[in-house]
Structure 1
């Protein structure tokens, strides 16, 4: 009868477990990612040669700039923070791997127990003998030494999928590091070219002030000769003062740009070494955009989004496996005695156990349902994020390629504008001396020439930055 009851109980338990496993929530709709990209960036760009494959030390040839980048990759705090994130992700893999391996613990225990004489346990100990003529010790000590093991059998690959998801997140953290490196290099390069442009604008402004001071002296002499009025003198004097004030504004910009670079390279404020002479004569590096499909393997942010998506897919599988029965096996072996001299006697003090548990959720499964639904929603989020990252990368490349072409055309025209206005300064000054032009023509010509030179330097800076940005947009800089 007892055996029949045990069998009946086990049968009922198995039926409940199977019923719980069979009553799974409906599978949610999963959205697959779309990796389709256009065949080329434009009809004129169909070459597969890609500038992104060039290492940054070969792409940037200025030794001062490459020295700054090297320093940033060693000292930048944000970069080092991300490196620790990689270590954390790597440790997560170890933790997940350990979850589907058996857990083995070794332990020892000691205790003492004093029961009352007129209790059930006390009465039994009083009437029973351990051996002829030997009674239970009072109080009764309890000593134990043993090894315990437990193992959750990963039938549904829940634990292994969790481990694989951790691997993908580790790879994602590496791609995040690469993307950060790409942006860091681009930011240092653009700030470096901005600093060189400011140096040139400062030098142009100083030369222009000298020209205006000479013009001011001429106007003063013309006033003494009663050829012009005091108004002309004051207008020229005001123009000189305005540009002298502008010197301090540019100097402040230089300080802030230098310190932006110093922050990126992880050092306290100091002068940034550079050679700004000949900045306007720099020739931007030629760019080969390749084809859009190359972005999928060159852009670290796309690869990072891809790894996050792969991890979220495995999370959905792990979450769904929570509805299935879990099989856990436990076992233990050791020695147990009330006296140390009997502790390691075999088989008298030997103890062991073995058990298997098959458990499945039956009632109130809202928590694991919510976990499953959330995992599915995160997977769909990552699909959209992956597609958005691809779209953003493609648009960035298109914008920067267009920017390079337009800036080159603009630079050519501004160069001609500067040449014309520089000649106009000499012409207007000669005409003013011969009383064939008034002072306002000289003043406006000098002002226009200064602004055109500033704009020429600004355009050259934008050209260099556009090259840096398209190199970054193509996925270059991290290797």
Structure 2
């Protein structure tokens, strides 16, 4: 009497094996972000009106009003190599999602083969009493050829949703690369704007040096005339000559800095060296745009680097879950359907030449789990690492905005006082030159006044640049630029 296969017992066996393996699977480390829960409600010294608006939500074309600057940014967004590299990283992550999706579906392939087999007489197969005759009293050929052609399929039945978890992890990583691209966009826009303002500042400092050289040349001529009139000495002449040479040397240094800054901008724009179109005339009249910060919690949604870190954390958690399910048994189903015969002419004889096979295998790791244990520990450590990276990103984002808010406020006061200092030194310089011409002031007083006036003007230009750069940086810090 034939034994009948009992699916109930088969299901019990599968359940017992799965239960046994799940009990042996290690537990993942439970993690939670502290930084996200502890984000302050407001920034330090934040004004009430700053809470109502958020400059980070303003599109960059509306935030930056300089036509030359916006044109440079548009070129950078089209040609920047770092941005292009980031876009390819997105494509790689997208392809990985497709790969993980494909693993959920059966694999079907078509193929064929030719072979020959001769069984030894004194073997379990060769010692049988199988007939050596076939139709028409023809002997079965020896060795026995084998011609086959058909379809084969293989499918891993995702009973524990391990493959789905791996796909979800790949999707989270893909979304993280998209946010990474947004962060590159925001950083690129800010970098172009920062370097543009720095270039304008160098242009203005070069103009100041050139004007200062003219004043020093006039002072040198006066000192020579006074020497001839015995109103001063050769020492005064040499001092003025030395100061003039120093200023001319500074001019060469500024020219080099301008060339390097232009090349930095050209590099950001992905092009070979060429002049940067700009208008330096109104640089000192530029008024930094008012910035509204909103509330700190908005950083979690606006800043791409925070969102990317959060998605990487999600991906890492899913990787741990998938690695844990490697300890569970897996079910593979394989099937073949095709034509097979020892003579090609018999392949057309259907159904005699039809061959098929259906196999289901369930297997789970029992001994020597070192590899999957190592994989699980690696995934668990990576998720903890991703958590620290996320917390670090959140904290640094808040600190960046807080520091830049303070910088904008302090630079406003600094610029105002530097402007007053520069004006006072200009007035005193005119007085010193007039007194020197009338032999009522020493040449050292003229030199010191001119030097102080030059330093004040250069520092005033630097202060204006720092004001504008602080506004650009806080715009980026608030998550602006990528939308």
Question: TM-score category by the smaller chain?
Answer: over 0.9
Verify: 1:450 aligned to 2:450, yes or no. no
* CA separation of 1:125 and 1:65: change in aligned 2, threshold 3 A: farther
The 8 Å contact of residues 30 and 380 in structure 1, kept in 2 or not, is answered as no
Match of 1:106 in 2: 110
CA RMSD of aligned residues (A): 2.4
Shift of 1:140: 3.3
SS at match of 1:353: strand
Match of 2:212 in 1: 208
Match of 2:33 in 1: 33
CA–CA distance in structure 2, aligned partners of residues 76 and 191 of structure 1: 15
SS at match of 1:414: helix
With the length of structure 1 as denominator, give the TM-score of the two structures: 0.94
Aligned match of 1:407 in 407, 411, 414? Answer: 411
Q: How does 1:120-199 map to 2 (within 5 A)?
A: 128-199=132-203
Match of 2:232 in 1: 228
* CA separation of 1:156 and 1:424: change in aligned 2, threshold 3 A: same
CA–CA distance in structure 2, aligned partners of residues 83 and 288 of structure 1: 31
CA–CA distance in structure 1, aligned partners of residues 189 and 355 of structure 2: 65
Higher mean C-alpha displacement, 122-131 vs 67-76 = 122-131
* CA separation of 1:118 and 1:52: change in aligned 2, threshold 3 A: closer
Shift of 1:324: 1.1
Q: Which runs of 4+ in 1 moved over 6 A?
A: 4-7, 9-13, 115-127
The 8 Å contact of residues 326 and 359 in structure 1, kept in 2 or not, is answered as yes
Match of 2:425 in 1: 421
Deviations 1:409-441 (Å, cap 9, x if unpaired)? 000001111111111111011111222211110
SS at match of 1:258: helix
Aligned match of 2:47 in 35, 45, 48? Answer: 45
Aligned match of 1:280 in 284, 287, 293? Answer: 284
The 8 Å contact of residues 104 and 149 in structure 1, kept in 2 or not, is answered as yes
The 8 Å contact of residues 20 and 360 in structure 1, kept in 2 or not, is answered as no
Aligned match of 1:248 in 247, 252, 271? Answer: 252
* CA separation of 1:66 and 1:22: change in aligned 2, threshold 3 A: closer
Aligned match of 2:470 in 455, 461, 466? Answer: 466
Residue segments in structure 2 that go unaligned for 5+ positions in a row = none
With the length of structure 2 as denominator, give the TM-score of the two structures: 0.94
Deviations 1:248-267 (Å, cap 9, x if unpaired)? 00000000000011111111
CA–CA distance in structure 1, aligned partners of residues 377 and 122 of structure 2: 59
The 8 Å contact of residues 69 and 185 in structure 1, kept in 2 or not, is answered as yes
SS at match of 1:364: coil
Aligned match of 2:362 in 358, 376, 400? Answer: 358
Shift of 1:19: 6.6
Shift of 1:17: 3.0
CA–CA distance in structure 2, aligned partners of residues 140 and 359 of structure 1: 35
CA–CA distance in structure 2, aligned partners of residues 11 and 226 of structure 1: 117
Match of 1:298 in 2: 302
CA–CA distance in structure 2, aligned partners of residues 121 and 356 of structure 1: 26
The 8 Å contact of residues 344 and 350 in structure 1, kept in 2 or not, is answered as no
Aligned match of 1:96 in 91, 96, 100? Answer: 100
The 8 Å contact of residues 313 and 386 in structure 2, kept in 1 or not, is answered as yes
Deviations 1:130-151 (Å, cap 9, x if unpaired)? 1242111345321111111111
Q: What is the aligned residue count? A: 478
SS at match of 2:42: coil
SS at match of 2:76: helix
Q: How does 1:43-82 map to 2 (within 5 A)?
A: 44-46=46-48, 47-82=51-86
The 8 Å contact of residues 169 and 308 in structure 1, kept in 2 or not, is answered as yes
* CA separation of 1:43 and 1:242: change in aligned 2, threshold 3 A: closer
CA–CA distance in structure 2, aligned partners of residues 434 and 86 of structure 1: 74
CA–CA distance in structure 1, aligned partners of residues 338 and 270 of structure 2: 58
Residue segments in structure 1 that go unaligned for 5+ positions in a row = none
CA–CA distance in structure 1, aligned partners of residues 248 and 112 of structure 2: 85
The 8 Å contact of residues 183 and 305 in structure 2, kept in 1 or not, is answered as yes
